[in-house]
Structure 1
């Protein structure tokens, strides 16, 4: 937003204050709107599919707190569970039955998970899963894929070297070359590169970690050949397959992307929806692997607020609702309607485009061919996306503030909301040229 725009004057003042108190004025970089220019909106409240900023402007929300709000904001079942939990106490530092209830729901819903450990975030989940994979196999190296984001863990916050199957290099100050040296970065959807990595480094590879459906380079879906390589190569070489479902868990199906795609990973990481909008993460897998975690085994992992009673209450209420009243058929129909509408809108404006979707995750890429990897995503017209973002915001539609983030549809959205969004997109895409 322009700092002089009177529609956002209170957000402008709030951002000016925040910048004096926090780096960049935010507590997570994506919130700063750096990828689209301008200044971020400060949100006052949310309900269902709607957001209101502190200037009183209302928006259709397609971020959903970056994924967790699959039921919509302020779902009454979740609010009621939280209210009851607050009255019992906010933190005990001791076991509660709520932790076991949430763990049981995860085990019941996710086919590959036999035992689980609760943590506080998706980053903690992936960090812990990587440590466990190394501790279980006794091997040092990890394979990841460019464009897959697994949180700000040092060993995973790395970029590819000069060739597809080279060891990684740090892509953030503070990540040491030694930390990055045990991570191999490959291209997503490149089965041959994965085969080459195992041929060159197989006895040293502890695990392959991947997003079963990408959402942090926009929505990118794995090819059948890539899925086959992921299924077979780690197992054949004594490595573990770690499925990062922080974003896709409980969203693409009750059992996550692995249910939808027929995957059987050794370890799974979860976040976002598993906490119903509160800070929760989890990692789990086969019993014999999880038995290596302290205090049952030697692999250390701990957290004072892990399994916090408020977070487990919200998570249990959300997962119970998803299991008892599954929204997935509705989400599929709404998302397909939006996908078609965005394609039609881009065609009518003559814009280079491809719309990629899996379930209720959607991305409109300003690109003239399918996006299958980070190198192809990086070819998108990000400047045009920035203009499109602001044109949509001016029309009351709040999208992710980056070409490389998926938008999320919630069970609170309606067909009328989708149609209004498509109508706005027709104008916004044309105006963004």
Structure 2
């Protein structure tokens, strides 16, 4: 019999005997002994924990099972495989996944090496984070080109480290603009005097640029541009008409140079056969139009000050090397057309004047190939999506639908 059944039987017997005692005071000794025995048995059960009178049975709830502790595993790290590649913009971006109980709380460790030596983190910029879903992103802004190895690992909040992932990258020199220099092509002075030439240099890395020339006494002279690209170069005391050539060289990783000439005229100095105001030594048309024709060289009719009348004698008014008949900017002075500065050879300076460097009729702002194939016009038959890339040899997605 179960514990509850035994308790119930004993109690029932006790109550029955009590009723009989109340009805009949003459209870024999055997009954009393029987009642005493049952009561004694019940007390023994209570003392031994075998009874649950008035409390209910623990057996009804079943056994209690303790929860097992969750094991804190070390985090695991994986890096997207296509991130280890050549970089041309000095910025390396790495993405991956961190698997951990709370990924957003891991600490990211990045070690950058070059030539086997660890690079001081203070010499480059770094951004790294892991989001709540475990997505990892790391951006490194590097200052030098060359080969690097990148080692990445993470440590969770309990101090357990992940696996380490290492990749090798090559940082290529970014494309630099060509060095460019400009200045007023003519300086007029009334009498011999000290002369300083003022101008402008254009380049991506102005702090690498240097302007050089030869002073009037024959010595080499040089200067560097200010932060805004402007410069001034003292050429010395000028007594007679002369030509000064300025050369600029720039380049952080790839060097380029350019040169211009500046004519300095001193009034009433030197011979002038045609009387046009330009001394024979500087006159490209020394016996051309002049005083006999009632003409004196000026900025309106001789923009490059070469002594040739622009309207009648000069086939290249701005002296940029592009004949006027082919020159879309025939009065742009102070520079010479080369493929570096005038990609399509239209006589317009790419950085200052030309909004369609390759002459395909698609302006540079909308041109996906701004310095692409030359000598072709963008039309529906040659450039279906009008992106400035010729379909037959430049465009791998002719209709720009995202599929090659």
**Structure whose residues are more often helix by fraction:** 1
Q: One fold, TM greater than 0.5? A: no
Larger Rg: 2
- Superposition TM-score, scaled by structure 2 size: 0.19
**Structure whose residues are more often strand by fraction:** 2
